[in-house]
Amino acid sequence: MNGGDGGEAVASSAGPPPPLDWKFSQVFGERTAGEEVQEVDIISAIEFDKTGDHLATGDRGGRVVLFERTDAKEHGGNRRDLERMDYPVSRHPEFRYKTEFQSHEPEFDYLKSLEIEEKINKIRWCQTANNAVFLLSTNDKTIKFWKVQEKKVKKISEMNVDPSKAAGNGSVANASVSASPNHNLANGGYLGRSYNCLSKDAPFPPRGISSLQLPVVVTSNETSLVARCRRVYAHAHDYHINSISNNSDGETFISADDLRINLWNLEISNQSFNIVDVKPTNMEDLTEVITSAEFHPTHCNTLAYSSSKGSIRLIDLRQSALCDSHSKIFEEQEAPGSRSFFTEIIASISDIKFAKDGRHLLSRDYMTLKLWDVNMDSGPVATFQVHEHLRPKLCDLYENDSIFDKFECCLSGNGQRVATGSYSNLFRVFGCAGGSTEATTLEASKNPMRRQVQTPSRTSRGLSSTITRAVRRGAESPGVDANGNSFDFTTKLLHLAWHPTENSIACAAANSLYMYYA
């Protein structure tokens, strides 16, 4: 997926890339058979940093867990060293547990008589500095800016006293001073017995102590990771925060709730600017809410936000201080005669993501993934059916509230594939390059391909601007999942993230973090 027409022409002539063969890589927090999952352990956010060397997860218990890549470190070094070691560069990423910290605690708003959950809604990585990593985490009301750094452990070494002279009633470790019967003090006194400096009952020597024996604190080679909250951005949202997003300028970020989007400076925690406000004068006139917001990856003045009506608005911060009007709106026109009771509910967009090049935008509503070209607001360039066979069951999904589940989406670093989750711990990967018919179903388990379903080839739409007809791919036989079984709506894969430079996906199934590579 290239921004220029020339790149697209080359890709089209070469044909679409072949479907990826996904393999299991790692799992953290794997459950044993019959093990009950604690609510606080369920993962609620996943995010890779820009380099792909770090991965962060947040859970409903308010904890943030950090993982770091190990294969790059173990085989790292310059190119000459790698060639000498004959190390295969195509090796898939491997991660290990790094550290964890309690980001948020449960709170209670006494003015509104409202409990504020500690659950982590979003995590975003910030720019690194001085071997420290920085990240933003948020619950429903409060955003926090964290610094995680390795610090050398300081230890108390031997005290500065000759151990041979520290005999008798104490040792060096307990800071006692002992003396032989004929030991003369520096000021001419005589010490006929030993005194334990740590004992409250011991009398002070009549003529003082020759020298003060202090422990020596030294810095060891051991290191420990320390997480410190640098700033707290609070009291700026009346409604639940659903998104935070870093700006490409490295200085600012946005936070969005149901009705407002605020702009913050990372250095200033007591002031924010309201840049989008969709709250009507009379709340009875409210027709839509903000569901997700994200900054453009390279243009610091551009951001997009989605709504519960299925539209995405692109706004330019240079136009005005309060962005009441949008520069572009992306929405798909409703097919005549297709409206039902559930139309508006399933049209609500739960997540949006910019492609790395900033040219394309991915959105996830309840039934589909849609890929948009920011230069073309007439409709999506591609639509992918995630679980079309659930359409006849919308009434059941409404009854058990599953229809309100908010699934996330992600794009590969090269923009050629997109992914999102579904029920029964399944997630789907679609190819979006020109001519691609890739539509893979994977299960969050150690055998991800066992739920694989063969999708018949269909005419697909490439991303070239010369094609004007959208394609819908990935539909399966109605009423069953990929294995012919009914879906389990209690096991849902809401959160997943694609490695920024490699074909590797991290996804959360309850309290377990699964990683796959291709």
What value does the mean pLDDT of the chain take?
82
| Average pLDDT score over residue span 451-468 | 39
256 pLDDT exceeds 50?
yes
pLDDT of 115 strictly over 70: yes
The backbone torsions φ and ψ at residue 285, rounded to the nearest 5 degrees and listed phi first, read: -90, 5
Q: What is the pLDDT of residues 134-158, one digit of tens each?
A: 999 999 999 999 999 988 877 776 6
The pLDDT assigned to 146 comes to 97
How far is Cα 448 from Cα 446, in angstroms, rounded to an integer? 6
pLDDT at 449: 79
pTM to 2 decimal places: 0.79
Q: Are 201 and 175 in contact (CB under 8 A)?
A: no
Q: Is 93 in contact with 69 (CB distance < 8 Å)? A: yes
Asked whether the predicted pLDDT for residue 327 surpasses 80, the reply is yes
Question: Is the pLDDT confidence value at 471 over 70?
Answer: no
**Beta strands per DSSP E along 300-458:** 302-307, 312-316, 328-330, 351-354, 360-364, 368-373, 382-385, 409-411, 417-421, 426-431, 439-443
Given pLDDT bands bounded at 50, 70 and 90, which one contains residue 16? Answer: confident
List all residues 6 or more positions away from 175 whose beta carbon is below 8 Å from its beta carbon.
159, 196, 197, 198, 213, 215
Phi, psi at 411, each rounded to 5°: -120, 150
Q: How does residue 9 score in pLDDT terms, banded at 50, 70 and 90?
A: very low
CA separation, residue 80 to residues 76, 84, 92, 461 (Å):
11, 6, 20, 43
- The CA distance from 96 to 502, in Å, is 17
Calpha distance 235→104 (Å, rounded): 15
Residue 84's H or E segment, with its range, is helix 79-85
